[in-house]
Amino acid sequence: MSLPETWEPRPVPPANPETERFWSAAADGTLLLRECPDCGLVYHYPSALCPDCFTEAEWREASGDGTVYSFSLLRNHGDWPEDDLPVVFAYVELEEGPRVITNILDCPPQDVEVGMDVTVAFVPTDTEDVAIPVFVPAE
C-alpha cells in the first residue's frame, strides 16, 4: 500500500481567502485547526469567526493523531480512479476534539474499523499551495 503521488484526478479543493492558509499549511506538512481566544473552542472547518461566539479565531497546529469515528467503503464513484476503489470515506476524531471528514489510505479498505488509531499524511496536488490531508494507520 502507498499514498498516491498526486491527488488528481480526484477533486481538488477550491481555496479561498479565508481558507488558503489551511491548504498551504497542508502543503508544508502541517494540519491546522482553529481555536477561539475567547471561548476556547477548537474547531473545524476553519471559519474566520468562531461558530460559537463570532470572535476572530486563531490558527493552531493539530497533532495529526486521531481515531476513526465512522467510515464507509464507497464501492462506486464517478470522480475516482477505478483502481483506487472503494473510497474509504471517513470521519476521524482528532486528538483535539473535532471530527473531520477525510479518507483513510495506505491500508486495505476492509481493515478499517471504527476506533482504529490513525495519523495524518498529506498528498500533493498539481497546485503548489494545496495538499490534501488524509489519514493512515498509526505506527
Partner 1 sequence: MAADESVYIAGAFEHPTRDAPDKSTMQLHAEVARGALEDAGLEKDDVDGLLTAGVPWGGSGLPPLIMADYLGLDVSFADTTDWGGSSYVGHVGHARDAIRNGRCDVALVTLAGRPRSDPRSDDFQSYQDEFERPYGSVTLGRYAVAAQRHMHEYGTTPEQLAEIRVAASQHAQHNEDALFQDPVTVEDVVESRMVADPLHLMDCCVVTDGGGALLLVSEDVRADLERECVEVLGYGEAIGHLDGGRIDLTHTAAVDSGPMAFDDAGIDHDDIDYASIYDSFTITVLQTLEDLGFCEKGEGGEFVEGGTLQAPHGDLPFNTDGGGLCNNHPANRGGMTKVIEAVRQLRGEANDPVQVDADIAIAHGTGGSLGTRHGSITAVLGGEDR
- Residues near partner 1, by CB under 8 A: 7, 10-19, 41, 43-45, 47-54, 69-77, 79-80, 86-87, 89-91, 94, 97-103, 114-115, 132
- For residues 18 and 28, which CB has a smaller minimum distance to partner 1 in the complex? 18
CB of 125 to partner 1, least distance (A): 9
Contacts of 28 (CB under 8 A, 6+ apart): none
Q: How far apart are CA 121 and CA 7, in angstroms?
A: 12
For residue 14, say if its preceding peptide bond is cis, omega within 30 degrees of 0.
no
CB of 39 to partner 1, least distance (A): 10
Rounded to the nearest angstrom, the gap between the alpha carbon of residue 58 and the centroid of all alpha carbons in its chain is 19
CB of 25 to partner 1, least distance (A): 14
Q: How many CA atoms lie within 13 A of 63 on its CB side?
A: 14
- For residues 25 and 50, which CB has a smaller minimum distance to partner 1 in the complex? 50
Rounded to the nearest angstrom, the gap between the alpha carbon of residue 43 and the centroid of all alpha carbons in its chain is 13
- For residues 53 and 139, which CB has a smaller minimum distance to partner 1 in the complex? 53
- For residues 15 and 136, which CB has a smaller minimum distance to partner 1 in the complex? 15
CB of 108 to partner 1, least distance (A): 13
- The answer to whether 29 and 60 are in contact (CB under 8 A) is no
Q: What is the dihedral of CA 15, 20, 23, 28, to 10 degrees?
A: 150
